[in-house]
Homo-oligomer: A and B are copies of this chain.
Amino acid sequence: MKKILCLYAHPNPQRSRANRKIVESLTPLANLSFRPLYELYPEFYIDVKREQQLLQEHDLIFFQHPFYWYSMPPLLKLWMDSVLEFDFAYGPKGRALVGKDFLLSITTGGPLDSYAPSGYNRFPLSAFFPPYEQTARLCGMQWHEPLVLHHSTRVSEDTLLQHAESVRQRLVQLSTGAQ
Protein backbone atom coordinates (compact mmCIF):
# COMPACT_ATOMS: atom_id res chain seq x y z
CA MET A 1 0.00 0.00 0.00
CA LYS A 2 1.28 3.46 -0.88
CA LYS A 3 2.47 5.68 1.95
CA ILE A 4 0.72 9.02 2.19
CA LEU A 5 2.41 12.26 3.26
CA CYS A 6 -0.29 14.69 4.42
CA LEU A 7 0.90 18.30 4.48
CA TYR A 8 -1.73 20.19 6.39
CA ALA A 9 -1.56 23.98 6.24
CA HIS A 10 -4.10 25.90 8.28
CA PRO A 11 -2.80 29.17 9.81
CA ASN A 12 -5.31 28.95 12.67
CA PRO A 13 -5.94 25.25 13.27
CA GLN A 14 -7.85 25.97 16.50
CA ARG A 15 -10.34 28.11 14.59
CA SER A 16 -10.85 25.64 11.76
CA ARG A 17 -14.11 23.77 11.48
CA ALA A 18 -14.00 22.15 8.05
CA ASN A 19 -10.29 21.42 7.70
CA ARG A 20 -10.18 20.00 11.21
CA LYS A 21 -12.98 17.54 10.47
CA ILE A 22 -11.27 16.51 7.26
CA VAL A 23 -7.89 15.84 8.84
CA GLU A 24 -9.55 14.08 11.80
CA SER A 25 -11.04 11.62 9.33
CA LEU A 26 -7.60 10.97 7.81
CA THR A 27 -5.26 10.66 10.75
CA PRO A 28 -6.45 7.13 11.72
CA LEU A 29 -5.12 5.83 8.38
CA ALA A 30 -2.15 3.65 9.26
CA ASN A 31 -0.29 4.48 6.05
CA LEU A 32 -0.63 8.27 6.47
CA SER A 33 1.98 10.58 8.01
CA PHE A 34 0.29 13.71 9.30
CA ARG A 35 2.35 16.92 9.11
CA PRO A 36 0.53 19.95 10.53
CA LEU A 37 2.92 22.57 9.13
CA TYR A 38 1.74 25.51 11.23
CA GLU A 39 2.28 23.50 14.41
CA LEU A 40 5.62 22.12 13.28
CA TYR A 41 7.01 25.43 12.02
CA PRO A 42 5.28 28.31 13.84
CA GLU A 43 8.34 30.52 13.26
CA PHE A 44 8.43 29.82 9.51
CA TYR A 45 11.73 28.01 9.85
CA ILE A 46 11.46 24.78 7.87
CA ASP A 47 13.69 21.75 8.38
CA VAL A 48 14.42 21.20 4.70
CA LYS A 49 16.45 18.00 5.06
CA ARG A 50 13.76 16.39 7.23
CA GLU A 51 11.02 17.36 4.79
CA GLN A 52 13.02 16.02 1.84
CA GLN A 53 13.61 12.76 3.68
CA LEU A 54 9.86 12.45 4.35
CA LEU A 55 9.08 13.07 0.69
CA GLN A 56 11.42 10.27 -0.28
CA GLU A 57 9.79 7.89 2.19
CA HIS A 58 6.26 8.43 0.85
CA ASP A 59 4.47 7.69 -2.42
CA LEU A 60 1.45 9.99 -2.40
CA ILE A 61 1.92 13.67 -1.55
CA PHE A 62 -1.29 15.21 -0.26
CA PHE A 63 -1.99 18.90 0.48
CA GLN A 64 -4.93 19.87 2.70
CA HIS A 65 -5.57 23.57 3.22
CA PRO A 66 -8.11 26.37 3.09
CA PHE A 67 -8.00 28.29 -0.19
CA TYR A 68 -6.95 31.89 0.55
CA TRP A 69 -6.79 34.47 -2.22
CA TYR A 70 -7.08 31.73 -4.82
CA SER A 71 -3.97 29.97 -3.58
CA MET A 72 -2.26 28.32 -0.63
CA PRO A 73 -1.35 29.66 2.84
CA PRO A 74 2.12 31.25 2.97
CA LEU A 75 3.79 28.56 5.07
CA LEU A 76 2.94 25.91 2.48
CA LYS A 77 4.41 28.17 -0.21
CA LEU A 78 7.55 28.50 1.91
CA TRP A 79 7.62 24.71 2.18
CA MET A 80 7.44 24.46 -1.62
CA ASP A 81 10.10 27.09 -2.25
CA SER A 82 12.45 25.62 0.37
CA VAL A 83 11.94 21.88 0.05
CA LEU A 84 11.36 21.39 -3.68
CA GLU A 85 14.92 22.36 -4.49
CA PHE A 86 16.72 22.32 -7.80
CA ASP A 87 18.48 18.97 -8.32
CA PHE A 88 16.24 17.42 -5.65
CA ALA A 89 12.71 17.85 -7.01
CA TYR A 90 13.51 19.11 -10.52
CA GLY A 91 16.47 19.87 -12.73
CA PRO A 92 18.94 17.41 -14.28
CA LYS A 93 19.52 15.48 -11.04
CA GLY A 94 16.14 16.22 -9.46
CA ARG A 95 14.42 12.84 -9.54
CA ALA A 96 13.28 12.46 -5.93
CA LEU A 97 9.55 12.81 -6.67
CA VAL A 98 9.33 11.15 -10.07
CA GLY A 99 6.46 8.68 -10.26
CA LYS A 100 4.81 9.70 -7.00
CA ASP A 101 1.16 10.80 -6.85
CA PHE A 102 0.01 14.28 -5.94
CA LEU A 103 -3.44 15.14 -4.60
CA LEU A 104 -4.76 18.55 -3.56
CA SER A 105 -7.71 18.98 -1.20
CA ILE A 106 -9.03 22.45 -0.39
CA THR A 107 -11.91 24.23 1.28
CA THR A 108 -13.28 27.46 -0.14
CA GLY A 109 -15.32 30.13 1.58
CA GLY A 110 -17.26 30.91 -1.57
CA PRO A 111 -20.08 28.70 -2.88
CA LEU A 112 -19.70 26.71 -6.09
CA ASP A 113 -21.65 29.21 -8.19
CA SER A 114 -19.29 32.05 -7.24
CA TYR A 115 -16.60 30.35 -9.34
CA ALA A 116 -18.04 31.20 -12.74
CA PRO A 117 -17.99 34.15 -15.14
CA SER A 118 -21.31 35.26 -13.64
CA GLY A 119 -20.13 34.83 -10.04
CA TYR A 120 -18.08 37.15 -7.88
CA ASN A 121 -14.97 35.00 -8.28
CA ARG A 122 -15.32 35.33 -12.08
CA PHE A 123 -13.16 32.30 -12.92
CA PRO A 124 -14.01 28.62 -12.68
CA LEU A 125 -12.14 27.16 -9.74
CA SER A 126 -10.00 25.10 -12.13
CA ALA A 127 -8.45 28.34 -13.46
CA PHE A 128 -6.55 28.62 -10.17
CA PHE A 129 -5.04 25.14 -10.25
CA PRO A 130 -2.23 25.48 -12.84
CA PRO A 131 0.38 26.56 -10.25
CA TYR A 132 -0.28 23.37 -8.27
CA GLU A 133 -0.61 21.12 -11.30
CA GLN A 134 2.52 22.34 -13.02
CA THR A 135 4.55 22.14 -9.80
CA ALA A 136 3.51 18.51 -9.47
CA ARG A 137 4.23 17.79 -13.14
CA LEU A 138 7.60 19.53 -13.25
CA CYS A 139 8.60 17.23 -10.38
CA GLY A 140 7.41 14.22 -12.36
CA MET A 141 4.43 13.48 -10.16
CA GLN A 142 1.07 12.23 -11.32
CA TRP A 143 -1.60 14.91 -10.96
CA HIS A 144 -5.08 13.93 -9.79
CA GLU A 145 -8.28 15.97 -9.87
CA PRO A 146 -8.43 18.12 -6.70
CA LEU A 147 -11.02 17.57 -3.98
CA VAL A 148 -13.02 20.64 -2.99
CA LEU A 149 -15.42 21.54 -0.22
CA HIS A 150 -17.19 24.78 -1.18
CA HIS A 151 -18.84 27.24 1.19
CA SER A 152 -16.93 25.56 3.98
CA THR A 153 -17.98 27.84 6.84
CA ARG A 154 -21.66 27.42 6.00
CA VAL A 155 -22.15 23.76 5.07
CA SER A 156 -24.14 21.51 7.38
CA GLU A 157 -22.40 19.12 9.72
CA ASP A 158 -23.72 16.23 7.63
CA THR A 159 -22.32 17.63 4.38
CA LEU A 160 -19.01 18.27 6.06
CA LEU A 161 -18.76 14.75 7.48
CA GLN A 162 -19.71 13.27 4.12
CA HIS A 163 -17.02 15.32 2.43
CA ALA A 164 -14.41 14.32 5.02
CA GLU A 165 -15.33 10.68 4.42
CA SER A 166 -15.04 11.14 0.65
CA VAL A 167 -11.53 12.59 1.06
CA ARG A 168 -10.56 9.59 3.21
CA GLN A 169 -12.00 7.18 0.65
CA ARG A 170 -10.15 8.88 -2.20
CA LEU A 171 -6.86 8.59 -0.34
CA VAL A 172 -7.51 4.92 0.39
CA GLN A 173 -8.37 4.37 -3.27
CA LEU A 174 -5.22 6.07 -4.54
CA SER A 175 -3.02 4.39 -1.96
CA THR A 176 -4.18 0.96 -3.09
CA GLY A 177 -3.20 1.75 -6.63
CA ALA A 178 -6.55 2.77 -8.17
CA GLN A 179 -6.73 5.95 -10.26
Contact = CB atoms under 8 A, between A and B. Distances in A.
A13 interface: no
Contact of A81 (B68, B120, B121): B68
Contacts of A44: 43-44, 74
- How many copies, total? 2
A167 to B, nearest CB: 23
Interface residues of A, number: 28
A127 interface: yes
Contacts of A134: 70, 121-123, 128
A39 to B, nearest CB: 16
A121 B133 CA distance: 10
Best-surrounded residue of A73, A78, A131, A138 (most CB of chain B within 10 A)? A131
A17 interface: no
Contact of A77 (B43, B69, B84): B69
Best-surrounded residue of A70, A73, A84, A120 (most CB of chain B within 10 A)? A70
Interface of A: 11, 43-44, 68-75, 77-78, 80-81, 84, 120-123, 127-128, 130-131, 134-135, 137-138
